[in-house]
Structure 1
């Protein structure tokens, strides 16, 4: 008799379990312990007193940022150059150019920083931290990771050596080819500092921030002087 009751009870439990596991297109079926994997949804902009949120004061869902909080993006900043003592406003450093718009960035984007010895020195530190492992100390694409990874750009040769600041900034931000985007790893100011240092590796700027005068340009200058 006990065996029959046990079999009947087992059959009922089994049928209930199997039935609860069935689902339709609009029904996920019975969820066991849903609180373990389905979090309570709070409306972020609901600031109603005595709401269902029992964690925050007054039941509010949206907390005020801590004092001194700076947004990760869309921030206004100034830069003080220790080498010149000059401090200037860089404006609202927002960059929303589409990742596929490299040509547009190269044509329209300008470095807001005045390229000085201090800016280049700070850019060099950032380059060594974020870029050197792939591009190498001299920018020739021969970093330790670059040697294994392959296809790393040589910043000192070919058309890349002629790339302007807008081109470089866009590639750092959104990536290109085998290079992954770094826009989430450093802010716009840091990226522009790296751009300034890359110009040194390209041979466009001297380490002190002065433009590099090439032999062809020197010859042209001498010709102009002789004409005078």
Structure 2
């Protein structure tokens, strides 16, 4: 009888313990074993870790460079826009046509990108009166409503933005080809449509 009582008490106590352990723990995550499986160490891309051994990538790099001539996902249609920095490439770019279909949304996106990247020199309306020009940091660039811009093909505008031209720096690492074409759509809302072949003086400048 005594043994039966002890056994029953043990079963009841075990049941109470199990049921009480199933209550909600709130924000308590409980115990973690091998926490690195839950909280991995993140590395910044294209950086080096000199204090940790890296037997996979050379020089402690956290990422490998893409294979030469790799085309990013979704950029196949823009892969042809690769030129060298030269006058010959600038002239060759004249044959490029804007592949992005113009729309109110595209022009609005181009306007936003223009305000972020271009307006400090070109001004909010493309009149060449940006803040850097007003501060005397740079001479004014051509106004977008000038004949010089109106007679410059879209392809040459693309080249100038992507690779730079004269005092203008290259924005190819800041804007992808699709974004550049959107900016050009916005520029054409200021300059008006392309008016034909650029003059020799425009091409040389």
User: After TM superposition, what 4+ stretches of structure 1 lie above 3 angstroms from structure 2?
Assistant: 62-66
Q: Would you say 1:179 and 2:175 are equivalent positions? A: no
Q: Would you say 1:142 and 2:129 are equivalent positions? A: yes
* Structure 2: gaps (5+ residues): 1-51, 195-205
Q: Would you say 1:96 and 2:82 are equivalent positions? A: yes
Q: Paired residues, what number?
A: 135
With normalisation by structure 1, the TM-score equals: 0.52
2:72 to 64, 71, 75: 75
The aligned runs of 1:25-36 (5 Å cut-off) are none
Deviation at 1:136, TM superposition (A): 0.9
RMSD: 2.9
Find the aligned partners of 1:160 and 1:124 in 2 and give their Cα distance.
17
Q: Would you say 1:166 and 2:164 are equivalent positions? A: no
Q: Which has the higher strand share?
A: 1
Deviation at 1:124, TM superposition (A): 0.2
Assess if the C-alpha contact under 8 Å between 1:75 and 1:92 holds in 2.
Answer: no
Find the aligned partners of 2:171 and 2:119 in 1 and give their Cα distance.
14
Find the aligned partners of 1:198 and 1:136 in 2 and give their Cα distance.
12
- Which deviations, in whole Å up to 9, do the C-alpha atoms of 1:195-225 show, x marking residues without a partner? 11111111229xxxxxxxxxxxxxxxxxxxx
Residues 151/142 of structure 1: CA separation in 2 closer, same or farther (3 Å cut): closer
Deviation at 1:92, TM superposition (A): 4.3
SS of the counterpart of 1:126? helix
Assess if the C-alpha contact under 8 Å between 1:76 and 1:93 holds in 2.
Answer: no
* Structure 1: gaps (5+ residues): 1-53, 79-89, 206-228
Q: Looking at both structures, which has the greater relative contact order when contacts are Cα pairs under 8 Å and sequence separation is at least 6?
A: 2
Find the aligned partners of 1:178 and 1:204 in 2 and give their Cα distance.
25
Q: Which residue of 2 aligns with 1:55?
A: 53
- Which deviations, in whole Å up to 9, do the C-alpha atoms of 1:10-41 show, x marking residues without a partner? xxxxxxxxxxxxxxxxxxxxxxxxxxxxxxxx
